[in-house]
């Protein structure tokens, strides 16, 4: 017990000195960072189509047709890499109507060559991201397409706040 009485004030003094030095550094240290950039957009993204599902009457299962959703056109002066993200914006409404909805998506360049890998957008995974190294021989513009997939409906008609039609959002950002 006597050792505790001797060591506790020493430990408290050490903690006060150490804490004070960190606080002093936090309050007095500064760093200046300069940021430069070209500003503005690096690409334009345009919706060019939407899926045309068959008439949903009763429970159905099937495959999805190929559909071009978005056109992405990088600006001429931009030579960096891209992250292209596609969002399913109404997954909650679709969940009432589908047991599953799996959409295989790919990106194609202006010469119709596949760019990058295939991603699958689902009701549970409502965002996918493609990484693209720009300037490696691909021909702009780029197209985001549904190239297959499958669905299985739960019912034949959508109620209030429900939907059979998926809605998408696409963005191109710098990587």
Q: pTM for the complete prediction?
A: 0.74
Tens-place pLDDT, residues 17-74:
766 665 555 555 555 554 444 556 788 999 998 887 767 667 888 899 999 999 999 8
Q: Does domain 43-174 have CATH number 2.60.120?
A: yes
pLDDT of residue 13: 74
Alpha-carbon gap, residue 135 to 113, rounded angstroms: 14
Tens-place pLDDT, residues 101-142:
999 999 999 999 998 899 999 999 999 999 887 665 678 899
Per-residue 3-state assignment (H helix, E strand, C coil) for 34-80: CCCCCCCCCEEEEECCCCCCCCCCCCCEEECCCEEEEEEEECCCCCC
| For the chain, domain boundaries | 43-174
- Give the residue carrying structure tokens 């599902």: 53
Dihedral angle of Cα 118, 142, 98, 90, to the nearest 10 degrees: 130
Cβ atoms of 84 and 171 closer than 8 Å: yes
């Amino acid at each position: 017990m006597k050792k505790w009485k001797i060591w506790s004030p020493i430990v408290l003094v050490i903690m006060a000195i150490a804490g004070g030095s960190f606080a002093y550094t936090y309050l007095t240290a500064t760093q200046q960072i300069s940021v430069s950039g070209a500003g503005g957009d690096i690409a334009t993204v345009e919706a060019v189509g939407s899926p045309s599902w068959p008439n949903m009457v009763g429970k159905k299962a099937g495959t999805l047709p190929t559909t071009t959703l978005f056109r992405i056109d990088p600006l001429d002066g931009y030579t960096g890499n891209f992250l292209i993200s596609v969002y399913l914006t109404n997954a909650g409404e679709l969940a009432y109507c589908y047991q599953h909805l799996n959409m295989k998506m790919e990106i194609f360049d202006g010469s119709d060559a596949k760019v990058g890998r295939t991603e699958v957008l689902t009701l549970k995974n409502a965002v996918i991201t493609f990484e693209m190294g720009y300037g490696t021989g691909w021909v702009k513009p780029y197209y985001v397409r549904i190239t297959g997939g499958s669905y299985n409906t739960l019912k034949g008609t959508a109620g209030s706040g429900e939907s059979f039609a998926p809605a998408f959002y696409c963005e191109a950002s710098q990587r």
